[in-house]
Amino acid sequence: APEGRVGSGKMAAAAGGAASAAPVCVLVLGMAGSGKTTFVQRLAAHLHGQRCPPYVINLDPAVHNLPFPANIGECCALRDGIRYGLGPNGGIVTSLNLFATRFDQVMKFIEKRQNASKYVLIDTPGQIEVFTWSASGTIITEALASSFPSVVVYVMDTSRSTNPITFMSNMLYACSILYKTKLPFIVVMNKTDIIDHSFAVEWMQDFETFQDALNQETSYVSNLTRSMSLVLDEFYSSLKVVGVSAVLGTGLDEFFIQLSKAVDEYEREYRPEYERLRKTLEEAQEKQKREQLEHLWKDMGSVCVQGSTLAGPDDASAMGPSELILTRGTLNEEEEERESDTDDIDHEVTEESHEEPAFRNFMQDMWMKCQRKSNPNE
C-alpha cells in the first residue's frame, strides 16, 4: 500500500504541470445527483493523502453540511433567499451573483496560496444551468481562466446513461458546456462501482454499435438521436473520458493523467488567446484614460483662458495654460500694499477675493494630479 501511494503521489505531482507554477483550477460541473460533491471530496482526500493539499472552493449556496473542508464556502443562503421571496433557484442565483462581485478577493487568496497548493478544486451548484448560463458563472470562469490554468470537469452519472437517448442528452449538454466555457474539457463517468463505463466508451468510438442500441428504441426521439450522433463524431474524437468511482476512489490515477494533458492543452492553445484578450482590454483601458486626460486638459485650458484677465492681456499672451493656472489670482504690488495697510479684513474685501485663493489652490492641486498622471514613472 505505501508503494502504491508513492506512485500515485508522483502522478498527482506530475499533473500540476511543469510548464506552469500557477495552481490548476478544476471546475467541477454536472447534473444534479451525478456525484459532483462526492467526487470533489474524493479528490481532496486523495491529494491530502499525497501531501499535496488542494485549495477548495464551494460555490453551492444550497448545501447545509459540506462533506469536505473548504477554504472558501458559500454559506447556506438558500433559506435567506426563500425568506425574501426569491424561491430556491432565485436564492441560488442571487447568492452566486453576490459571490461574483467579490471574486477579486478570491483571486487574491488563490494567488497567496499558489506556492502551497497545486490544485484549486471548485464545486458548483447542482442546478448546472445556474452556473453554466448565468452571468456570474461566466465572470467566475473567465476570471480564473485568464490568470490560472483552468480545466472543466463534467461529471456524468454512468448508471443513468445506459439508455442511448439519455446518453445522447448528456453528451449534447457536455458539448454545449465545452463551447460555452472554451476551456479544456474532461468527461468523468462516475459511479463505475455500479456499472462499468466501457459501454459508453464503445458508443462513442463505434458509431454502428450506438446505432444498434438505438434500433431498440421506437420513440420519435430516437430518430433525432440518430441524426445527432453523426454530428458528435468530431466532438468524441478530441474528448478526454475517464471512468471513476467517487465512492471507492478508483480511476483517480487515470484522471490525473488526463488532467495533466488538459493543462498542457491549456498552455498550448488557450493561454495565448486569453493573453491576447487581456492585452486588447489593457490597450482599450489605456486609450480611454488618454482620452479622459485630453478632455481634462481642454477643460482646464478653457478655464485658464477665461481667467487670464487677472494677469493682464500682455502677460496672458506670453504664458501657457499651465502658467496661467499657477498665476491665477496673484495680487499685483498695489493690491499687496493695500492689503498690508489694513488690519480689518472686512475693509474692501469682496466675495470674489474670498473665492480666489480657494480657486487657485484647487487649480494647483488639479495641475499636480495631471502632472503625476502624465508621468506615471515618477
The predicted model scores a pTM of 0.69
Query: For domain 24-206+241-275, is the CATH number 3.40.50.300?
Result: yes
* Structural domain boundaries in the chain: 24-206+241-275
Q: What pLDDT is attached to residue 62?
A: 74
Single out the residue of 175, 153, 91, 75 nearest to residue 127, CA to CA: 91
Single out the residue of 231, 140, 155 nearest to residue 186, CA to CA: 155
Q: What pLDDT is attached to residue 375?
A: 59
Q: What pLDDT is attached to residue 370?
A: 62
Q: What pLDDT is attached to residue 360?
A: 62
DSSP helix/strand/coil, 57? strand
Q: What is the mean pLDDT, run by run of 10 residues, along the chain of 378 residues?
A: 39 43 92 91 94 91 79 59 63 82 90 90 87 88 91 95 90 90 94 94 89 81 79 84 95 95 92 81 83 80 56 48 45 49 42 52 64 58
Q: What pLDDT is attached to residue 306?
A: 56
Q: What pLDDT is attached to residue 325?
A: 41
Q: What pLDDT is attached to residue 85?
A: 65
240-243 β-sheet, strand order: 72-73, 55-58, 119-123, 24-30, 150-157, 185-190, 240-243
Cell triple for 114: 499558489
Q: What pLDDT is attached to residue 287?
A: 86
